[in-house]
Amino acid sequence: MENNNGQKIYKLTMLILIIIIITSLITAFTTYQYLSKNNNLITIKADTGSLEGLEYTLANFRSELDKKYMGEINDEELIEGAIKGYVDALGDPYTTYYTKEEMKEIMEETNGNYVGIGIYMTMEPENDVILIIKPIENSPAEKAGLQAGDIITKINDVEYKGSQLEEASNKIKGEEGTEVKLEIYRNGELKTFNVKRENVLISHITAKAITNDIGYIVISDFEGGCAEEFERKYKELENKGIKKLIIDIRNNGGGIVDESLEIADMIVEKGANLLITKDKNGKEEITKAEKNPIINMPIVVLINEYSASASEILAAALSENGKATLVGTKTYGKGIIQELHQLSDGSGLKITTNEYFTPKYNAIHKIGIYPDIELELSEEIKNQVVLEEKDDNQLQKAIEVLNQN
């Protein structure tokens, strides 16, 4: 008797799973029809005969849902869900579909202003966790004590994996003045933080003269306007009489590749290789420096394990062209490029389109950039929320290297 019941439960479970799969196919096909008619996304080349057969089959399933499904069918939600599932099925954590609302938030962040807690995050694929690259300076996250290297395990008591990065990001954002509860894994311990959401103003660059002749520029990210801000702040330092420069891209998770290349173009000789990219067909493109450099002085670039993507492009371009000494630890190793497309309905699609290589054809993806001078941050200061310059042994090493020139 128990065995028969078990078989009935098993058959019922399998039936439910089959229905779920069929429903997913229906919404996917509905999405294809919708997007094709409205030219919102892309034209997919396929076997027309096969599509006609599929259309007939799925139309019958949809007809049954319309007749018998007792709930309401929201076509817009089905379409959005289907597109997300369609793109997620590629298995690439960096290729993502964004709804209109998500795309709006991304554009606000790119333009340097949004409501949230002020952290840069990434997915750590090896362990499928959400990693905090760094809190934004003077943000609610920094004030609450969140640190680079923290792993977000739960948001408002709900567990999130690295593959749920976009969903997690949306949960962390919210109305100004409200709080979000984060569970953080740090150094073998779980900690809880309640952080108030605020309007966060993002500045890409901070700069100052660290000694009489050494300038210090910290690049937090490579979002829109970063290169222009870098040039402006460099010239301010130049007017103060600096003769040497430290560029700090530690904990910089990347951003817009062109912003990084524009900065490299200010330093590298005209005509030199800055970046090599290859697409899915192996087609190669070489980006070269287009201008005469405006920065001609000894440079040290500080890097660490959270320097990724556009940061690695800048570090490699300067290092391999003999324009900078790299100090710190091996970089993250994200050597693929995504293009962000805003679609006609306001939604967006971020697509992995190319793998990139250093000016000397060295691969970066899952490898990283190795420093010329490898130096770990001192253990006693790794957990400091605010790192004092005098305690920052990597920064002090950079000063030492420049003083030897």
Distance (Å, whole) CA 267 – CA 296: 7
Tokens matching residue 299: 């440079």
Q: How many CB atoms lie within 10 A of CB 390?
A: 8
Distance (Å, whole) CA 262 – CA 47: 44
Q: How many CB atoms lie within 10 A of CB 48?
A: 8
Distance (Å, whole) CA 286 – CA 302: 25
Q: Of 357, 364, 338, whose CA–CA distance to 349 is shortest? A: 338
Distance (Å, whole) CA 135 – CA 277: 31
Distance (Å, whole) CA 304 – CA 134: 12
Catalytic residues: 309, 320, 334
313 sits in the region (left: phi over 0; alpha: psi -120 to 50; else beta) called: alpha
Half-sphere exposure of 124 (CA within 13 A, CB side): 19
Identify the bridge partners of residue 209 per DSSP, sorted by sequence position: 215
Distance (Å, whole) CA 284 – CA 276: 7
Contacts (Cβ under 8 Å, ≥6 apart) of 120: 132, 133, 134, 135, 136, 220, 221, 251, 253
Distance (Å, whole) CA 140 – CA 116: 8
Q: Of 310, 268, 275, whose CA–CA distance to 292 is shortest? A: 268
